[in-house]
Structure 1
Amino acid sequence: MKVPDNILFSIFQEQDARIRKNLSDKTLEISTGRKYQGISEDPPATYNVLDLKKEIAQLSQYSKNRLFADTSLSYIDLNLGKIEDSLNLLYAKTVQTKNQILQPNQLVAIGELFSSTLRSLLDRANDQLGGNYIFGGASLTQKPFDENTLEYKASKESFKVWLSDNYKVDALLRGDETFGLNVSISNAKFSSPDTNFTTGGTLNIKVGATNISIIYSNTQSLKDLVDFINSNYSNLLSAKVSQNPDGTYSLMLMPVDVSKDISVSDTSGGDFDTGATDFYSPNVLQAVKRIGDKLSGAMYPDDSDLMLLQRAFERISFRRSQVGSLLSQVKNLQPTQESLEDNLNKQKSDIEDADLSQSIMDYTRYKLAYEALMRIIADQKDMSILRYLK
């Protein structure tokens, strides 16, 4: 039976449009490498891709934060290592000086060594990385330590960065914590360690979470009080008579545990009650200056100076170990973040990326189908499709 021309042409138009669309879609797939060209083609898949892109962008920011933390903590660790070396040198020089008979000018020369080392330590304490002070905490651009008083002036909070949705680390440290010493020195000064106190009183001492009350009387001297503390509280405290740069004497107290803080006060009206801050805690820089000032004044260092330098070294080592622990955690995150990023990118690729080999095969199949359609129409009418269309 002969197929009417209008029906044949209608079939041709329908098949021609379908095959042409398939060819166009596959051509676009091959050229862009994507399965879907718009949200309307597959809304759920498009929304999944958008969510994955958001996760990938967030993970990329976490990776940048990790790299920043890795760089800054590595630089901090390097600086603390150099500070340890300097304190070790000063300690060895102080031991040597204490055990030698030296002329005043020789003591002054050693004092100059302390002064030059102090300048180097101050430079490291005020060092910057990328324009940010590494020991300035959250202040970032405020110089941490005053060059004259050596007091800490920057933020009381460390600068933290997020490395995941629920984990953040200190990337720039607080200088007051890093260089702070758990040593207390009395503001009350005495002309001699052997002279009895004028007025007795009570020292209120807190070491970590432990509170101690020590009563002293006007029948005791500074040396007697030191002996009493060392005899009865040696498991918690170490006490020394400390000669000040002006030649007077003060009480120095230090916890046995390098990690525990100490605070001391006297509100009893005794000789240690100065009406303001009864005891102060020097930082590492101020401790070095204190000993250097004594030497520059041609004074010999004493046991309290050795204890002070030893504690300065121990505290810096303690802080450096904390930095090392943080740095290890940060570095261990790298393979985890990289693996997660690969997985997210693969999920995104599986959804939106076309299988090029399959797309090329489909394109070839549609092209052959189109050519076959043309031949069928031509055979049915015994003429070329171009002649038919005319």
Structure 2
Amino acid sequence: MKLPDNLLFSIFQDQDARIKKALSEKTLDIATGRRVRAISEEPSITYNVIELKKEIAQLSQHSQNRLFADTNLTYVDFTLGKIEDTIKKLYADLLRTKNSATVSSEQLIAMAEGFNQSIRQLLDRVNERLGQNYIFGGNSLTVKPFNENTLSYEAGPEDFEVWISENSKVSVFLEGGRVFKTNLYVSRATFNSPTDSFSSAGSITIQIGTNTYTINYGGAGEPQNIEQLANYINSTLGDKVLAFVSTNPDGTYSLALSTKDLSADMEFISITGNFSTGFDNPNILQAIKRVRDKLENGIYPDEFDLFSINRSYDIVAMRRSEVGSVLNVVKNLQSTQENLDLVLKKQKSDLEDADIPESIMEYTRYRIAYEALMRIVADQKDLTILRYL
């Protein structure tokens, strides 16, 4: 039995519109590779895609920062290694001189020239640049870190940091004042002899960590000169503080102090008496220059000179170890970020991209359904020409 024309036309219109719409959608899926092409189509999916795009963009920035940190810290590590080598050589030269029974003033002066060359090399290293930025200039980036005359630090007060993940950041340009700071302290008060009596009694109050220590001198039953004071400090606080009587480049003598612990700093809380003028805290370059100046004046190196060069080497080695630890974290983050990038892009693709093989199969199915619909109409109306449409 044939269907009435109006019913047949109604069925045909409905099915024709539905199949044509499905064919059109699958054609676009195949042509664009996108399942969602407008926010209005799938609001929830589109929102998730936008959030994933934000995460991917942020991860990309963090990955770039990580690569930036990797490059810079690798160069910082290399430079600190070269500084280590230079200081190690200076220590070996000074040790040979210290252990030698007969060294003339001329030989000391000649040795000073070797120290001069090393200081110039070290100055080049601590003022090294990567691109336009000084690697030990901290957050000032383009300000030369160390003054060529005074050897003092003059650049940024903090490290320059970058975020390498959502929750962590690392220093890529280091604050050279901290990197090359020593825990060596030399009194500004000087004496013509280690046994010259103090002219004014007083005390030195220092803080190491959370502990405070007071050292009295010049009074009854107390040390009366810097030689006795150094011995007293070593006998009572030797596990915390090391004391030396050190010759200055002008031939006078000063009290020199250092913390026993390599990583500990000493803070002077109060000073009265002969030492009220305070203590200088030379950086590594200045400590080496102090030894150079003494050699240049033909003054034989003392125990503090040897200690200060060795301590300078140990400090650089410690800083290099710190950099190496951070660099290891940065390098290990690479695989994590690469894997996360793949996961996020896969999630975005699953939401946003069309499944091309499935879309082609669906397109074929709708095409067959459309052809079947046309045959039904042709059979009902006996319009055989429609079979070929």
Q: Partner residue of 1:48?
A: 48
275, 278, 286: which one aligns with 1:272: 275
Query: How far apart, CA to CA, are the structure 2 residues paired with 1:385 and 1:133?
Result: 83
Secondary structure of the structure 2 residue equivalent to 1:343? helix
Structure 1 residues 27-75: Cα deviation after superposition (integer angstroms, max 9, x where no partner) = 1101111111111111101101111111111111111111122222221
Residues 1:235 and 2:249 are matched in the alignment? no
Q: Once structures 1 and 2 are overlaid, which stretch shifts more, 280-289 or 218-227?
A: 218-227
Give the C-alpha shift of residue 84 in structure 1.
0.9
Query: Retained in 2: the 8 A contact 1:184–1:264?
Result: no
Secondary structure of the structure 2 residue equivalent to 1:212? strand
Going from structure 1 to structure 2, the CA distance change for 1:384 and 1:298 (only over 3 Å counts) comes to farther
Please, what TM-score do these two structures have when normalized by structure 1? 0.93
Give the C-alpha shift of residue 216 in structure 1.
1.1
The CA RMSD over aligned residues, in Å, is: 2.0
Query: Retained in 1: the 8 A contact 2:90–2:115?
Result: yes
Q: Partner residue of 1:222?
A: 226
Q: Which amino acid aligns with 1:273?
A: S
Secondary structure of the structure 1 residue equivalent to 2:275? coil
Give the C-alpha shift of residue 267 in structure 1.
3.6
Query: How far apart, CA to CA, are the structure 2 residues paired with 1:264 and 1:273?
Result: 11
Q: Partner residue of 1:93?
A: 93
Matches within 5 A, 1:27-46: 27-46=27-46
Residues 1:102 and 2:103 are matched in the alignment? yes
Query: How far apart, CA to CA, are the structure 2 residues paired with 1:387 and 1:76?
Result: 79
Query: How far apart, CA to CA, are the structure 2 residues paired with 1:66 and 1:237?
Result: 40
Q: Partner residue of 1:314?
A: 314
Q: Partner residue of 2:251?
A: 247
Query: How far apart, CA to CA, are the structure 1 residues paired with 2:92 and 2:286?
Result: 19
Structure 1 residues 200-233: Cα deviation after superposition (integer angstroms, max 9, x where no partner) = 2111122222211111117722111111111111
Give the C-alpha shift of residue 377 in structure 1.
2.1
Secondary structure of the structure 1 residue equivalent to 2:251? coil
Q: Partner residue of 1:203?
A: 204
Q: Which amino acid aligns with 1:135?
A: F
Query: Retained in 2: the 8 A contact 1:201–1:266?
Result: no
Q: Partner residue of 1:212?
A: 213
Query: Retained in 2: the 8 A contact 1:266–1:272?
Result: no
Matches within 5 A, 1:115-134: 115-134=116-135
Q: Partner residue of 1:383?
A: 383
Query: Retained in 2: the 8 A contact 1:26–1:363?
Result: yes
Give the C-alpha shift of residue 372 in structure 1.
1.9
Q: Which amino acid aligns with 1:153?
A: E
Going from structure 1 to structure 2, the CA distance change for 1:336 and 1:388 (only over 3 Å counts) comes to closer
Structure 1 residues 332-359: Cα deviation after superposition (integer angstroms, max 9, x where no partner) = 2222222222221121111111111111
Q: Once structures 1 and 2 are overlaid, which stretch shifts more, 353-362 or 166-175?
A: 166-175
Residues 1:112 and 2:116 are matched in the alignment? no
Give the C-alpha shift of residue 130 in structure 1.
2.9
Query: How far apart, CA to CA, are the structure 1 residues paired with 2:248 and 2:305?
Result: 10
Q: Once structures 1 and 2 are overlaid, which stretch shifts more, 133-142 or 304-313?
A: 133-142
Matches within 5 A, 1:1-390: 1-100=1-100, 101-217=102-218, 220-264=224-268, 267-268=271-272, 270-274=273-277, 278-384=278-384
Give the C-alpha shift of residue 257 in structure 1.
0.2
What percentage of aligned pairs have identical amino acids? 55
Q: Which amino acid aligns with 1:256?
A: K
Give the C-alpha shift of residue 108 in structure 1.
1.9
Structure 1 residues 158-199: Cα deviation after superposition (integer angstroms, max 9, x where no partner) = 112122222222222111110000111101111111221222
The total of aligned residue pairs comes to: 385
Give the C-alpha shift of residue 253 in structure 1.
0.2
Secondary structure of the structure 1 residue equivalent to 2:200? coil
Q: Which amino acid aligns with 1:243?
A: T
Going from structure 1 to structure 2, the CA distance change for 1:91 and 1:180 (only over 3 Å counts) comes to same
Query: How far apart, CA to CA, are the structure 2 residues paired with 1:251 and 1:12?
Result: 107
Please list every run of 5 or more consecutive structure 2 residues that lacks an aligned counterpart in the other structure: none
Going from structure 1 to structure 2, the CA distance change for 1:387 and 1:299 (only over 3 Å counts) comes to closer
Secondary structure of the structure 2 residue equivalent to 1:215? strand
